[in-house]
Structure 1
Amino acid sequence: MIRVLVVDDDAYIRELLALYMRNEGYTVLEAENGEEALHILEKEKVNIAIIDIMMPKMDGYELCEDIRTYYDIPILMVTAKGETDSKVKGFQSGTDDYIVKPFEPVELVMRVKALLRRYQVHESKKLILGPVVLDSNTNEMVIHEQTTMLPLKEFELLFLLGSYKDQIMTRQSLIEGVWGMDFDGDERTLDVHIKRLRDKLKRVDSSVRIVTVRGVGYRLEVQS
């Protein structure tokens, strides 16, 4: 089970972040300042930390430096500060990524998952989409007891679309979620993978389909 440490002095923000993380099946630990966060880290196993910058007793920069000194876990800074200097200071302190409030829940979740992949922190999870079962342990797609092994990127793409069933996913969010923010290819890579997935789904069951939303991205639909 992935364990996420959420550090923010605003109880509402902690509750909001915890809700997004729990919706992904993660266990959430909460701290209202940096000192409390360090106490938790001393006692609990944590896979990733999501921390605010402006906090009493110990701000996010100092906390980030301490975490980076003693723990090898990914760090995501979440803050209202969007100025370049703040971002630079955050990365100099050791954060792996940075997101500015207000943020889209989908973007936050994808950034967390991208950091977990970068640190090779794996989760075991099955996703059921009508007759389709996706098993993240094996990268298998099972439909009507017929098992299909999918290449890693195809599986991750289908799993990401399925995790937000009936929601429109932009092309950029899909690329960042599967290939990472530093991907230097083009959108044709995404289109090729979508076409392959469509072909495989169509061969085994037509009730699960990937719909193109022109000019925006894609949406996965499950017909009853």
Structure 2
Amino acid sequence: MAAILIVDDNPTIRAIVKLYLAGPDREFAEAADGEQALHLVHRERMDLVIVDVVMPRKDGLTFVRELRASADPRVRDLPVVLLTGQLTEEEGAQRTQEVGADALVLKPITGPRLQQAVDGLLGGPPSPPAQG
């Protein structure tokens, strides 16, 4: 069972991500900002984090920097997918590399692109395509 944390201040985006990635081998947790997400990853076991770049309180880039600086390897080494609708692909790729995230998915999110990024990081067989 893969535990995936979805971090976005927009509940509709969180619901879309869950819809695209839903499967019998996946469970989800949600956070509305990077501050809440940091508390969750230190408290609960997660296998992957999907985080929006632009959020209030603590943005996604700051969240990833703090994640990578953690003394706990279970937290520090979590695979991270950045989501962004504010950056171009080139800018997003640069930020992804700078903060140490593992993948980038541009908004508007498409199911196949998100699934490809997540499946590649979880290392399992691809999940069946979501409906919708």
> TM-score scaled to structure 1, two decimals?
0.51
| Equivalent residue letter for 1:91 | Q
Query: Are residues 1:92 and 2:108 paired?
Result: no
After superposition, give the CA deviation of every residue in 1:36-65 in whole Å (9 maximum; x if it has no partner).
Answer: 001101110000000000000111110011
Q: Distance in 1 between matches of 2:118 and 2:69?
A: 21
Q: For residue 26 of structure 2, what is the aligned residue in structure 1?
A: 26
Counterpart for residue 40 of structure 1? 40
Superposition pairs for residues 34-73 of structure 1, below 5 Å?
34-70=34-70, 71-73=76-78
CA distance in 1, matches of 2:24, 2:79: 17
Runs of 4+ in 1 over 4 A off after TM superposition: none
What is the alpha-carbon root mean square deviation over aligned residues? 1.8
1:26 CA displacement: 0.7
Counterparts of 1:5 and 1:92, CA distance in 2:
21
Q: Are 2:92 and 2:104, in contact at CA under 8 Å, matched by a contact in 1?
A: no
Alignment of 1:1-224 (within 5 A): 1-23=1-23, 25-70=25-70, 71-83=76-88, 84-117=90-123, 160=126, 163-164=128-129
Q: Secondary structure at the match of 1:163?
A: coil
> How far is 1:22 from its partner?
2.2
Instruction: Report how many residues are paired.
Output: 123
C-alpha deviation, 1:27, in angstroms:
0.4
Higher RCO (C-alpha 8 Å, min separation 6): 2
Distance 1:32 1:51, change over 3 A: same
Corresponding position of 1:141: none
Contact 2:54 2:86 (8 Å CA) reproduced = no
Identity in percent: 28
How far apart are 1:111 and its partner, in Å? 1.0
Give the distance between the partners of 1:102 and 1:24, measured in 2 at CA.
25
Secondary structure of 1:85 counterpart: helix
Query: Following TM superposition, by how much is the alpha carbon of 1:24 offset from its aligned partner in structure 2, in angstroms?
Result: 5.6
Aligned partners of 1:62 and 1:110: how far apart in 2?
A: 25
Give 1:89 shift: 1.9
1:105-144 deviations in whole A, cap 9, x for unaligned?
0221121010112xxxx5xxxxxxxxxxxxxxxxxxxxxx
Q: CA shift at 1:3, angstroms?
A: 0.1
Q: Which runs of 5+ in 2 are unaligned?
A: 71-75
1:127 alignment partner in structure 2: none
